[in-house]
Amino acid sequence: MKQLQIFNKTNKKIKKNYLKMKKILHFRHQMKIILKMNRQQQIANKMKQMDKIYSKKKHQIKLNKINLTVKKINKYSKHNMKKYYFNRMLKIINLHKTLIKPLIVKMINPTVIKYNQINQARYKYQNKQRTQSIKNKRLKIMFCNKNILNIISFKDHKVQRI
């Protein structure tokens, strides 16, 4: 009888401990879920914030570009403008020497240059030369095989590589 009593007591203790553990584990699991949810919410909020900032920045950049155009038109004469753009183009090409594909340079205004990699737009092959024409057709760039700039043609004037 004594042995049975001892066994029952120990059994009860084990059961109590097991239930406690179960409760704790369940609570921890719930906490994990809550934390995960919080993380997802935090990420979503961050993304929203970033979108807001990005849209604001875009707007600011547009405004800055408009201001820049006005300043640069006053600053440079036609002859200096040619030099300025030619040097700028060379700088851009030197920056991206590592790229296998050539660059596209887009013109929004005659003083502001935008450039992206060629894989973001369509391009044609013509007699081993790549030509890229842009929608507004303010600027055309012709590339030869080694990604070297041949001609930059602007609205009014042309600049040729020597």
SS3 (DSSP) at 148:
coil
Q: Shortest CA distance to 106 belongs to which of 83, 137, 76, 75? A: 137
Q: How many CB atoms lie within 10 A of CB 107?
A: 20
Q: Is the pLDDT of residue 28 over 60?
A: yes
> Between 106 and 44, whose confidence is greater?
44
Q: Is the pLDDT of residue 29 over 50?
A: yes
**pLDDT, tens digit (0-9, with 9 covering 90-100), for 63-117:** 555 555 544 544 555 556 666 666 666 665 555 544 434 444 443 333 333 444 4
Global pTM reads: 0.22
d(CA 131, CA 150): 11
pLDDT for position 81: 60
**pLDDT, tens digit (0-9, with 9 covering 90-100), for 53-62:** 666 666 555 5
Q: How confident is the model at residue 19 (pLDDT cuts 50, 70, 90)?
A: confident
C-alpha separations of 115 from 74, 81, 107 in Å: 24, 18, 9
The answer to whether the CB of 107 falls within 8 A of the CB of 134 is yes
**pLDDT, tens digit (0-9, with 9 covering 90-100), for 109-159:** 333 334 444 434 444 444 344 444 444 344 444 443 334 444 444 444 444
d(CA 130, CA 150): 11
